[in-house]
Amino acid sequence: MFHLAHISDIHLSPLPGITYRELMSKRITGYINWLRNRQGTMTGGVLEALTTDIKALAPDHIAVTGDLVNLALNLELETARLWLETLGAPADVSLVPGNHDAYVPGALDKACHLWEPWMRGDGIDNAGNRVEFPYMRVREDVALIGVSSARATAPFLASGDFSRQQAERLGKMLDEAARRGLFRVVMIHHPPVRGAAPAHKRLFGIRRFQKIIAKHGAELIIHGHTHLATRHAIEGPSGKVPVICVPSASQNLGGKRPAARFNLFSIGKREDGTWTCRLTERGIVGPDEEVVTIAEHELV
């Protein structure tokens, strides 16, 4: 049995000091949003409680589906690298970026440079260059394929993109993993499902993504972005493929979204060789910030 923990939308806090020069961009709207909506609901000890619980369970691997930071300030990006180091070694943690990690032009390049060890495909030497997505890592019988939907957008937008170039590479990786008999997990930040996010936060390229999955297949798709606990499914070549979102890992109780949570996927094989996948949702339910099992689901 392979155990995969999934967390997302870390939004590390508090914000570091910010200069007027840094606010002369889209960051001014994000900073106001932070002051009004997130400063009081996404700080505190819930992230630490969650990561402590994950480490106690000792999963085989951890997937992080983006939004480590808020405004993609240089100091935020550097702090996020330090946080990743505390979460786990690069070989044990796989990361894809989110829209907040690409908040302004140039930020995504900086993030990918700093966080590259956690986004390095097997046998790939990026040699200090920007990570090429998707990337694939194989751990035991599981292929972890990281897709980037992150891009800089105009103020009041938080949309993402799945490009033709990524689609072509993703199809090849899915086929390779299938030939090797692996359980294929696709990681992406934005939900690749219509209606799962408001129009200004949607993924451009949903149809393209779904066509790739319908043709090449996958066993599981995981994402973040909406800060919700949702379960959808899209068509694969031989049946439905689960699409699972996890709430923000930093959300306190009493907010508009579910309190901090992570998902644990237990992946195995039956005697007839078919896959099994069980989802266990664990998170914060009380003011003592104890992490407990909230629900369990059989996905495959």
Please classify residue 276 by burial: count the beta carbons closer than 10 Å to its beta carbon, then call 0-12 exposed, 13-18 middle and 19+ buried.
middle
What pTM, to 2 d.p., does this model score? Answer: 0.92
Sequence-ordered list of residues with C-beta below 8 angstroms from that of 273, at least 6 positions apart, any chain: none
Q: Give the residues of the chain that fall short of pLDDT 70.
A: 14-44, 128
- Rounded to 10°, the helix 164-179/206-216 angle is 20
Beta strands in 44-139 (DSSP E): 61-64, 93-95, 135-139
Query: Which residue, 67, 286, 105, is CA-closest to 197?
Result: 67
Q: Give me the pLDDT at residue 155, please.
A: 87
Q: Give me the pLDDT at residue 3, please.
A: 98
Domain with 7, as residue range(s), is: 2-298
Query: Which residue, 162, 283, 262, is CA-closest to 211?
Result: 162
CATH number at residue 143: 3.60.21.10
What does each C-alpha distance from 234 to 8, 16, 209, 221, 268 come to in angstroms? 21, 40, 10, 9, 22
What does each C-alpha distance from 293 to 172, 187, 297, 300 come to in angstroms? 37, 23, 12, 20
CA distance 89 to 139: 14
How many structural domains compose the chain?
Answer: 1
CA distance 130 to 149: 15
Distance in Å from the first CA to the final CA of the chain: 14
Indicate the SS3 state at residue 255.
Answer: coil
CA distance 78 to 246: 25
Q: Give me the pLDDT at residue 31, please.
A: 46
